[in-house]
């Protein structure tokens, strides 16, 4: 079972906000023992990133944001500027398999918590650094949040309302996609490093940068530019390589029509009672992309007369991909989402029942092994040789 795949793996988590915690939450969901080290009093910044908040019996308020990315961890507060806390932390790291941090380059070296120092203490340690710009280069010392990298990495240059349309301009994604993708790349890197350590016995320093991830996640858009030499423009809800593949208005709301090939377009035309697929300019995907401004009004006129449910049934019957645009209430009421048990309720001893989203890597029957996000933990215990599971 994947929920216990990392059983016995110890992770010391010095990261805050989202990219690092998303990685360590993945590791916790896969069975690792994750010890989250937080600053005394305020803890991780995202504990205060609300409302909304959940209030503990003690009166402590925990933001929903924090709850989204810290499932399955244990919290301890420590100030490693203090010798006693730092010595305690070094004892935890001595026996750890993985350390995750997202401090500015050079910060942890001041406290002897950099990779060079810690690898001497623990040669098998996998040390993951998550930063905005990486460990080297002219921008290495600069801080940055996800929003910055959505812009700098190219995503916002082609995301948003196209020129000439009302509200034209760049838009960010609705969630911190660069942070989340960085967390996923970081998870993969840690897992690969654990496998490699199993062969060599050696740990290593992993350098994961948000800007690198932002560039990499341009995917086909980057490839389009590298092949054509032309930067993609903002195209609203359309697709740069497929047509029709966008949002359309029906009589009772909006839906997404996603035509993936020429045969699907022919089937769609027959459903609409049209012969557009026989016209040379619309017969192929390349032609439809080239002539999308001629095709789009024809599609809009036809689809505006349909009710979404009726149209959806007809599209399903013809093997044509489509989808609703659901708000989150509709998402969690969706029959397939309910069947897949993506909404999980766990009981927290201080916060009461918490609704959380299942990790897609962990199947529904394995979720009972997951523990809820922690309230801000106790102070470090300098006298303890190791902070064990039984001490939570």
Which residues are marked as active site?
179
The structure tokens listed for 167 are 């509200």
Asked whether 353 and 53 are in contact (CB, 8 A), the reply is no
Asked whether 243 and 285 are in contact (CB, 8 A), the reply is yes
Which H or E run includes 15? none
Task: Classify residue 67 by burial, with Cβ atoms within 10 Å: 0-12, 13-18, 19+.
Answer: buried
Tell me how far apart the alpha carbons of residues 219 and 241 are, in angstroms, rounded to a whole number. Answer: 12
The structure tokens listed for 361 are 């890597």
* DSSP class of 306: S
| Strands (E) located in the chain | 10-14, 33-38, 53-55, 61-63, 73-77, 98-101, 126-131, 160-161, 169-170, 204-209, 245-250, 253-258, 321-324, 343-348, 352-357
**C-alpha pair distances (Å), 317 with each of 247, 253, 259, 284, 314:** 20, 21, 14, 23, 5
Peptide bond into 51 cis (omega under 30): yes
Tell me how far apart the alpha carbons of residues 380 and 377 are, in angstroms, rounded to a whole number. Answer: 9
Neighbouring CB atoms inside 10 A of 313's CB total 11
The structure tokens listed for 98 are 């993985």
Q: Is 134 left (phi over 0), alpha (psi -120 to 50) or beta?
A: left
Q: What is the 3-state secondary structure (H, E, C) of 76-143?
A: EECCCCCHHHHHHHHHHHHCCCEEEECCCCCCHHHHCCCHHHHHHHCCCCEEEEEECCCCCCCCCCCC
């Amino acid at each position: 079972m994947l929920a216990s795949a990392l059983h016995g793996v110890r992770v010391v988590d010095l990261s805050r906000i989202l990219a690092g915690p998303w990685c360590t939450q993945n590791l916790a969901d896969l069975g690792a023992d994750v010890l989250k080290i937080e600053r005394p009093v305020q803890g991780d910044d995202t504990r205060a990133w609300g409302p909304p908040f959940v209030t503990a019996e003690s009166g402590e308020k925990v933001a929903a944001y924090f709850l989204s990315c810290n499932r399955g961890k244990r919290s301890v507060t420590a100030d490693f500027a203090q010798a006693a806390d730092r010595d305690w932390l070094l004892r935890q790291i001595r026996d750890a398999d993985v350390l995750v941090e997202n401090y500015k380059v050079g910060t942890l070296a001041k406290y002897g918590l950099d990779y060079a120092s810690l690898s001497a203490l623990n040669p098998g340690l996998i040390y993951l650094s998550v930063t905005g710009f990486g460990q080297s280069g002219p921008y290495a010392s600069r801080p940055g949040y996800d929003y910055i990298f959505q812009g700098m990495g190219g995503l916002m240059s082609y995301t948003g309302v196209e020129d000439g349309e009302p509200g034209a301009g760049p838009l960010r994604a609705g969630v911190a996609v660069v942070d989340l993708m960085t967390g996923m790349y970081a998870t993969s890197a840690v897992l690969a490093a654990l496998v490699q350590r199993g062969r060599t016995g050696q740990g290593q320093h992993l350098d994961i940068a948000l800007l690198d991830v932002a560039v990499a996640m341009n995917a086909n858009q980057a490839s389009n530019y590298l092949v054509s030499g032309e930067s993609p423009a903002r195209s609203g809800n359309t697709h740069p390589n497929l047509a029709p593949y966008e949002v359309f208005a029906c009589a009772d709301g909006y839906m997404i029509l996603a035509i993936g090939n020429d045969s699907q377009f022919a089937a769609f035309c027959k459903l609409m009672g049209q012969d557009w697929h026989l016209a040379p300019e619309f017969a192929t995907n390349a032609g439809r992309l080239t002539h999308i401004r001629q095709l789009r009004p024809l599609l809009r006129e036809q689809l505006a007369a349909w009710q979404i449910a009726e149209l959806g049934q007809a599209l399903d019957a013809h093997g044509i991909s489509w989808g609703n645009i659901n708000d989150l209430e509709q998402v969690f009421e969706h029959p397939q989402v309910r069947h897949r048990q993506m909404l999980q309720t766990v009981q927290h001893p201080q916060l009461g029942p918490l609704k959380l989203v299942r990790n897609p890597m962990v199947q529904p029957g394995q979720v009972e092994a997951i523990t809820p996000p922690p309230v801000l933990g106790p102070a470090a215990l300098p006298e303890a040789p190791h902070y064990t599971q039984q001490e939570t």
